[in-house]
Chains A and B, each alone.
Chain A
Amino acid sequence: MAELPFRAMVALRGRSDDPRFLSAVKQAQGPDLPLEAGLTSGDENLRLLWLGPDEWWAVARDGGPELAAKLKDALQGVRSSVVDVSEAHATIEIAGPRSRDVLMKGCPLDLHSRLFGPGQCTRSLIAKAECTLLQLADEQSAEAEPAYQLIVRRSFAEYVWCWLEDAAREYGVTVVAG
Chain B
Amino acid sequence: MLLIPCPYCGNREEVEFSYGGEAHIERPKEPERLSDAEWADYLFMQTNPKGIFLERWVHTHGCRRWFNAARDTVSYQILASYPMGITPPKLPKTTYL
- Taking Cβ atoms with an 8 Å cutoff, the residues of A that contact B are 37-38, 51-53, 55, 108-109, 122-125, 130
Map CB proximity to A onto B60-91 as digits: 1 under 8 Å, 0 otherwise. 01111100000000000000000000000000
B8 close to chain A: CB less than 8 A: yes
Q: Which residues of B contact A37 (CB under 8 A)?
A: 8-10, 63
Q: Which residue of A lies closest to B60 (CB)?
A: A130
Bound CA span A53–B9, Å: 9
Segment of B12-20, B24-32, B36-44, B46-54 engaged in the interface with chain A: B12-20
User: Is there an interface contact between B63 and A125, defined as CB atoms closer than 8 Å?
Assistant: no
Mind listing 25 A-B residue pairs with CB under 8 Å? A37-B9, A37-B63, A38-B9, A52-B62, A52-B63, A52-B64, A52-B65, A53-B8, A55-B64, A108-B12, A108-B13, A109-B12, A109-B13, A122-B9, A122-B62, A123-B61, A123-B62, A123-B63, A124-B12, A124-B16, A124-B61, A124-B62, A125-B15, A125-B16, A125-B61
B14 and chain A: residue at smallest CB distance? A108
How many Å from the CB of A156 to the closest CB on chain B? 12
Classify the interface of chain B: helix, strand, loop or mixed: loop
Kindly state the separation between the CA atoms of A63 and B16 in the bound complex, as whole angstroms: 31
Contact B63 A51 (CB under 8 A): yes
Instruction: Report the separation of the CA atoms of residues A124 and B61 in the bound assembly, to the nearest whole angstrom.
Output: 5
Residues on the B chain within 8 Å of A51, using CB: 63-64
Count contacts on B: residues with CB < 8 A to the other chain. Answer: 12
A36 — nearest CB in chain B belongs to which residue?
B8
Q: A37-B8, A122-B9 are in contact. Are A53 and B15 (CB under 8 A)?
A: no
Bound: A18/B13 CA distance, A? 31
Residue contact B15 to A108, C-beta cutoff 8 Å: yes
Known contacts A108-B13, A124-B61; can you find 13 more A-B pairs with CB under 8 A?
A37-B8, A37-B63, A52-B62, A53-B65, A108-B12, A108-B15, A109-B13, A122-B9, A123-B62, A123-B64, A124-B12, A125-B15, A125-B16
- Complex alpha-carbon distance, A124 and B62, angstroms: 5
Task: Write the nearest CB–CB distance from A81 to chain B, whole angstroms.
Answer: 14
**Chain A residues with CB below 8 A from B64, complex form:** 51-52, 55, 123
Expressed in whole angstroms, the Cα–Cα distance for A130 and B65 within the complex equals 16
Q: How far is the CB of B5 from chain A (nearest CB, A)?
A: 12
Do the beta carbons of A130 and B61 come within 8 Å of each other?
A: yes
